[in-house]
Amino acid sequence: MANTMFVIALGSNLPSAAGGSAQSLAAALGRFAGEGLALRALSRFWRSPAFPAGSGPDFVNACALAEGEMTPEAALAALHRIEAALGRERHARWAARGIDLDLIAAEGAIRPDPAVQAEWRALPLEAQMRRAPETLILPHPRLQDRAFVLIPLAEIAPGWCDPVSGRSVAQMLAALPEAEKAALQPFAAPFATA
């Protein structure tokens, strides 16, 4: 099996076993290698408001590119093990959390197929907040809607193209409302990737 480059979004808005939100992201990144994921690029950390508004403290977000000789499903399982090691328990969708690691993309893979991908992209917001997919969907079906993913991802992979829409990260980011982009503020300098 060849190495695959994975796009991973990181977020935290509550303390975890590692400490505050920035420490939680750093601790998660420190566990990548033990799970077979080699960190190749890391954005700055960003502060973003919780969604929906008023649902909790601000998040600290970042994006990373990590390479591994594994399937996307194995990469997701690795991310879930890291979350569990830092104390993540899954109780409610879009709830405040100490660590959240989302597999956004695996190079140009579309999982499970274009029809399911289109169904999840078309879900109204209310349905997105209630329903969780039963299978891995790649690229992440709400990627194009999330400034807290696109802004950090644009720092490390502005030319990566969504295989479904054909739009680059830079194009998706440019299409977002200015108010959504302005809500994010740099939090800290990136950690070393070596």
Domain ranges of the chain: 4-188
Give yes or no for residue 70 having a pLDDT over 90.
Answer: yes
Mean pLDDT of 157-170: 96
Instruction: Of 40-49, 50-59, 151-160, give the lowest mean pLDDT range.
Output: 50-59
- CATH class for the region spanning 4-188: alpha beta
| pLDDT higher at 93 or 64 | 64
> Burial letters for 158-181: b for 16+ Cβ neighbours within 10 Å, e otherwise?
eebbbbbeeebbbbbbeeeeeebe
Which residues have CB under 8 Å from 28's CB, separation 6+? 10, 18, 82, 83, 86, 99, 101
Position 130 scores a pLDDT of: 79
Span 104-140, pLDDT tens digits: 999 999 999 999 989 999 988 788 777 888 899 999 9
Span 9-32, pLDDT tens digits: 999 999 999 999 999 999 999 999
Global pTM reads: 0.92
